[in-house]
Structure 1
Amino acid sequence: MLAALTGMGLSAAAGLNAYIPFLVVALAARFTDLVTLPSDYTWIESDWAIGAGAVLLLTEVVLDKVPAVDSLNDTIQTFIRPSMGGLIFAATNAASEIDRSTWMADHPWVGVVLGVLVSGIVHSGKMAARPVVNGATVGFGAPVVSTVEDGASIGLSLVALLAPVFVVVGLGLLAWLLVWMWLRVRDWRRSRRSGVYASG
């Protein structure tokens, strides 16, 4: 159960930024005893994987704070973020000594699917909300919202590794935020349609 919570927290974090939870897991496995990756996933803590992840993270951090470019980046990340969520969920579940005898450990594809789903849901909410934020703030909100998302991704990744029980609280807050954003998107689209009809 703890491994599943860890995987879900990291997958949700990947939905906000694909490379933050990847690097958190890679660095934790490389330099601490928090994560011991099994042989199939040891490449995650290799020099080239950490280096590539750092370069991609820097690129993501910059692009995600530029209005209009952030939406294009979100489109590109539609495949990357859910894939990373699936990878990280599977890797951390496989690394758990406690959960290796569980049904999920015997069926590793379940972790991949759950990771893809959780990350994909979070990514979808982020992708839908960003144009609304940009439109409402004439682009000035993009760097602020992006910074908050990066901070949330870091926080959720650390909580998932250090105190996975609290992932439930984090996921609850994230779910509330996604619902709130979806409602805002709906209201914004309705107001735009009303404006179009009124002007016509």
Structure 2
Amino acid sequence: MLAALTGAGLSAAAGLNAYIPFILVALIARFTDVINLPHQYAWIESWWAIGIAAVLLLSEVVLDKVAVVDSINDAVGTFVRPATGGLIFAATTAAEDFEKGSTFMADNPWVGVILGIITAGIVHTGKAVSRPVVNAGTGGLGAPVVSTAEDGAAITLSLVAIFLPVLVIFLLLLLLWGLFALWRRGYNRRRRRDELMADAGYS
């Protein structure tokens, strides 16, 4: 159960930013005994994997804070984020640290991959759908604010998933509520703006 919660939290974080949970898992696995990745996933903690992920993270952090460009970045993320979510879910749930006596996930890695893809895909969809609405409602000024909040949420969710997985369900519900509230607020602001423009044109 804890293994599944850890995988779900990390893959949800990947839906917001593919590289934050990847780098955190890689660094924690490399420098601590909290995560001991199975041999088939040991490449995740290699320096070359960490280096590539760090470069991609830097580009993601910058591009995601620019209106319009963030939507292009999200389009690319449609493939990257679910794939990373599937990888991280499978890798961490197969780690003996999180199995707690159960080897089901280690023996059936495809289950973790599918669950990770679905979880990351749902979160990514919420992010990708809400961002254009927020940008339209704020004239693009909301992009860096929302993006920074998403990065913070990805870091928090990743760390909680690794160290306090029992809280993952609560954070996932909070995340989904936040994405919906963000979309609704942006939609309402854009609708009010359109109504004002229509009234001005009518008069």
TM-score (norm 2): 0.90
Show the 5 A alignment for 1:8-47: 8-47=8-47
Q: Which residue of 1 aligns with 2:60?
A: 60
Identity in percent? 63
CA RMSD of aligned residues (A): 2.2
Moved more, 185-194 or 65-74: 185-194
Deviations 1:139-186 (A, max 9, x none): 111111100000000000000111111111111101212332454466
Q: Which residue of 1 aligns with 2:157?
A: 156
- Number of equivalent positions: 200
Does the 8 Å CA contact 1:5/1:164 hold for their aligned counterparts?
yes
3-state DSSP class of the match of 1:127? helix
Q: Which residue of 2 aligns with 1:77?
A: 77
**Structure 1, unpaired ranges of 5+:** none
Does the 8 Å CA contact 1:125/1:181 hold for their aligned counterparts?
no
Matched, 1:132 2:139: no
The residue type paired with residue 93 of structure 1 is T
| Whole-angstrom distance in 1 between the partners of 2:145 and 2:190 | 22
3-state DSSP class of the match of 1:13? helix
Structure 1 pair 193–106 and aligned structure 2 pair: CA distance change class (3 A): farther
The residue type paired with residue 13 of structure 2 is A
Deviations 1:16-61 (A, max 9, x none): 0000000000000001111100100000000100000000000000
Does the 8 Å CA contact 2:7/2:90 hold for their aligned counterparts?
yes
| Whole-angstrom distance in 2 between the partners of 1:178 and 1:66 | 19
Does the 8 Å CA contact 1:20/1:154 hold for their aligned counterparts?
yes
What is the Cα deviation at residue 194 of structure 1? 7.3
3-state DSSP class of the match of 1:65? coil
The residue type paired with residue 144 of structure 1 is V
The residue type paired with residue 119 of structure 2 is V
Does the 8 Å CA contact 1:15/1:82 hold for their aligned counterparts?
yes
Structure 1 residue ranges, 4+ long, deviating more than 6 angstroms after superposition: 188-200
Q: Which residue of 2 aligns with 1:168?
A: 169
The residue type paired with residue 21 of structure 1 is P
Q: Which residue of 1 aligns with 2:105?
A: 104
TM-score (norm 1): 0.91
The residue type paired with residue 75 of structure 1 is A
| Whole-angstrom distance in 2 between the partners of 1:4 and 1:79 | 22
Q: Which residue of 1 aligns with 2:5?
A: 5
| Whole-angstrom distance in 2 between the partners of 1:171 and 1:6 | 12
The residue type paired with residue 26 of structure 2 is A
| Whole-angstrom distance in 2 between the partners of 1:158 and 1:113 | 22
| Whole-angstrom distance in 2 between the partners of 1:76 and 1:27 | 25
Q: Which residue of 2 aligns with 1:113?
A: 114
What is the Cα deviation at residue 190 of structure 1? 6.7
3-state DSSP class of the match of 1:146? helix
Does the 8 Å CA contact 1:3/1:96 hold for their aligned counterparts?
no
Structure 1 pair 102–37 and aligned structure 2 pair: CA distance change class (3 A): closer
3-state DSSP class of the match of 1:115? helix
3-state DSSP class of the match of 1:14? helix
